[in-house]
A and B are shown apart, each in its own frame.
Chain A
Amino acid sequence: MSDSPSSGEPASPQAAGLETFRYDDGLPRMFLMATLVWGVVGMLVGLIVAIQLVAPSLGGLHEWLTFGRLRPLHTNAVIFAFAGNAFFCGAYYSMQRLLKTRMYSDALGKFHFWGWQAIIVSAAVTLPLGFTQGKEYAELEWPIDIAITLVWVVFALNVFGTIARRRERHIYVAIWFYIASIVTVAVLHIFNNLSIPAGALKSYPIYAGVQDAFMQWWYGHNAVAFFLTTPFLGLMYYFLPKAANRPVFSYKLSILHFWSLVFIYIWAGPHHLHYTALPEWASTLGMLFSVMLWMPSWGGMINGLLTLRGAWNKVASDPVLKFFVVGVTFYGMSTFEGPMLSVKTVNALSHYTDWTIAHVHGGALGWVGFITFGMAYWLIPRLFQTRLASPKLAEAHFWMGTIGILFYIVPIYVAGLTQGLMWRAFDATGRLAYPDFVETVNALMPMYWVRVVGGVLYLTGAILCLGNAVVTWARRPERYEEPVYEAPALGPYEPSSAESPWGSKRGDGGAFFDLRRFAALRWHRRWEALPLTFTAWVVVAVVVASLFEIIPTFLIRSNVPTIASVKPYRPLELLGRDIYIAEGCYNCHSQMVRPLIAETERYGEYSKPGEFVYDHPFQWGSRRIGPDLHRVGGKYPHLWHLQHMEEPSKVTKGSIMPPYPHLLRDPIDWSAAQKRVEVMAMLGVPYGDTVRHAEEDARAQAADIARALGEQIHPNDPAKQAAAAERYKDKQITALIAYLQRLGTDIKAEQAQKK
């Protein structure tokens, strides 16, 4: 395998006008193996957290292994490591062939590969250690975010450089999907991760409360769109025709599919925030565009399935096509369900329940997973240049995976509906039928066990795939063949060229065509080698939609009415909040009481936008495995929290929360207080004088809480009270209690004043 671009692009042409070149299959080989290895790792962590929910004692083995820390590791691993590497593998393989050129730079490709794997390893180390930004799928701290940006830029350079060097005029639709993914993910990643460092691995986002929530779900939703959907649609549009040996059913439909998705997806993010403190118009806008997404998504699904016209007999015998057919079908199912869940009334029931988890896994296991495995089985013999070690095991993987998905999603749908209905059930006297939250969790245990079986099946299938790939790799030829290909270089761009689908119609009026005449300028001709116009249109579509939603959300004062009694967190409470974030409490607890009668009955006053103005980052959460915590402040004595954190099941019978004994043992990092308050002040939080003596203030509050704790532990023994106060005054639990007791209480002061 040659490393230098010059040897990859043989200089001497075979014949006049023809250029010769070799493809670089080393890079797709590396990304393929990384996909399969990280896939097994990410799914294994998923299985571990699923088991922790049915066997909570396993959650308390070590503080690094609690659900709140491992769940982000699972999501980040399967999204960025498994799906990410799969996208890179397929993109590097298909782009070279579709553009009839080697990738622009072997060195950039290698940097991309090793840089991305280093990012994954750093995520796998920092997340269990509790370094997190506390925003779902954007947990990685600021130095890793910068590394991601750098590696992404390298990837983009390599892709655009390759397109500039192409020997095929038309850029096939799969590459459109890759380009859209690259530019949009860059925009999303940068803007959602804007934060101010408050330490080597600690930062606070520049946004707070409603605005942070809005940015996060603009990011979160579109990460699903542009990291898990468009890249895999690109792969589908290349590898499905390849495996079926049929051109795509309708190229026109694929273009409509592309532009509709790019234009609609960005608008849909607010559907993650229905009935929250988000303004009504934004919520409606998100719902409307989500429902519209159904149309192009099904256009794409139909286009994929009909590509198999006349090739259905192959599906019975070819595991690759089997994976693709089931994968595309799951794409159809998820993209029907997504719009349905975005309808407010459905969302009122489904949100915060396992329904979301089932929906996500239908898409992740069925669509992303099966397109990846189908692509892997197609690529393995071609990349390793020998027969697949065991087609029978590939077949077994398909059935295990399919049954595994069903065993996963069916019980979790049932769990979601069960819990959602239990939360809103009232008895004949008008009281909550299940007032203890834990009842609604314990009812799900049989379903959670079935999910474990589904997870085991799916993971086993993935291990079989990895094994099959490793054995095939072991049987590779001594030296990979690198055939030399020939193609004519692209001449200068001619606007009247019939090579372009739009070429023959050009010049017959209409705004697009007038623009083209303008484009005939010489400077522009050089640009035509780069698909800049195309990329610019994608950026316009994405940015217009984003600004349409973001600008009003940030600028309208009435969106976040100020509440005079809402004050910044005291320094100790801020430190406690950081512990809450580090432990990943948001993975199981929301902080958002929706204005629904079942919620106000259970938790108290619904949450107001103005209550979150100092929340950098917001912690509204997206799933309630435990109860909402926004009104937990003042609900229980300090001692309750201390005992509950030490061993939750002793305080709440049947609780599946892991114990946090280390919080009672580990000291507070007092030296961090000053810096963190300073950064908060820099972000506009009105700390006033406190900014000059943050540590002093934190220690004073801790002493008060520790004293109260001592009195509650030993009500009649002043000597022991003092000892307990001394013991807890510098422990992390005290900071966490300070935060939890503060939660949602400011508004009560205002209500008391009014009375």
Chain B
Amino acid sequence: MSLSDLISHMDLSVFPEVALVIFAGVFVAVSARTLRADRAAFEAAAGLPIDDPAPAREEEPRE
């Protein structure tokens, strides 16, 4: 029996539901991990784009 035969005999109508369960599981895991993370460190991370350090030498060009 080839892989094609095997998969051809499977009932794939449950595939959307299986996919939904996989997704929901991953989503819950990612959410739980994100929500448990440290707030202060996230605030520091969120500030990365706007916390540009001043140049050590030479003036930054004026806008």
Contact = CB atoms under 8 A, between A and B. Distances in A.
Interface string A97-135: 110100000000000000000000000000000000000
Closest 6 CB pairs between A and B? A483-B55, A501-B41, A247-B46, A251-B46, A385-B61, A486-B56
Contacts of B37: 252, 501-502, 505
B42 to A, nearest CB: 4
**By DSSP majority rule, is chain A's interface helix, strand, loop, or mixed?**
helix
B46 A281 contact: no
Contact of B38 (A486, A501, A548, A556): A501
Interface in B25-63: 26-27, 29-31, 33-38, 41-50, 52-53, 55-61, 63
A238 B41 CA distance: 18
B55 A485 contact: yes
A143 interface: no
A184 interface: no
A487 interface: yes
A504 interface: yes
Contact of A172 (B13, B49, B56): B49
Nearest to B57: A484
Interface string A485-529: 111000000000011111111000000100000000000000000
Interface stretch (A190-198, A284-292, A639-647, A701-709): A284-292
A499 to B, nearest CB: 7
B44 A14 contact: no
Contacts of B23: 263-264, 267, 289, 292
A173 B16 CA distance: 30
Contact of B15 (A170, A381, A387, A548): A548
A170 B16 contact: no
B25 to A, nearest CB: 10
B7 interface: yes
Contacts of A500: 41
Contacts of A245: 50
Contacts of B60: 481, 483
Given A282-B15, A498-B41, A556-B8, 18 more contacts: A247-B46, A251-B45, A255-B34, A259-B27, A267-B23, A281-B12, A284-B16, A285-B15, A289-B19, A484-B56, A485-B55, A501-B38, A503-B41, A505-B38, A512-B33, A552-B12, A555-B4, A555-B8
Nearest to A258: B30
23 contacts: A170-B44, A172-B49, A246-B50, A247-B46, A248-B46, A251-B45, A252-B35, A255-B34, A279-B12, A288-B19, A288-B20, A289-B19, A381-B63, A386-B61, A481-B58, A483-B55, A483-B56, A483-B57, A498-B41, A499-B41, A501-B38, A505-B36, A556-B4
Interface string A170-191: 1011100000000000000000
A284 B16 CA distance: 7
B4 A247 contact: no
Contacts of A259: 26-27, 30
B7 A504 contact: no
**By DSSP majority rule, is chain B's interface helix, strand, loop, or mixed?**
helix
Interface string A222-265: 00000000000000011001100111100110011001100110
A242 B46 CA distance: 11
Contact of B13 (A281, A556, A557): A281
A45 B45 CA distance: 42
A264 B26 CA distance: 11
A382 interface: yes
A261 to B, nearest CB: 11
B8 to A, nearest CB: 5
B1 interface: no
A544 interface: yes
A500 B44 CA distance: 10
A267 B59 contact: no
A163 to B, nearest CB: 14
A482 interface: yes
Contacts of A719: none
B17 to A, nearest CB: 9
A20 interface: yes
B49 A484 contact: no
A168 interface: yes
B61 A481 contact: yes
A105 to B, nearest CB: 23
A484 B58 contact: yes
B30 A552 contact: no
B24 to A, nearest CB: 10
Given A285-B19, A499-B41, A98 B49 contact: yes
Nearest to A551: B7
A285 B42 CA distance: 35
Contacts of B26: 259, 263, 541
A57 B29 CA distance: 59
Nearest to A286: B16
Contacts of B55: 483-485
Contacts of A649: none
Given A285-B16, A548-B19, A485 B53 contact: yes
A500 B45 CA distance: 9
B53 A486 contact: yes
Nearest to A508: B36
Interface in A55-83: none
A460 B59 CA distance: 37
Given A251-B42, A504-B41, A482 B58 contact: yes
Contacts of A505: 36-38
B30 A98 contact: no
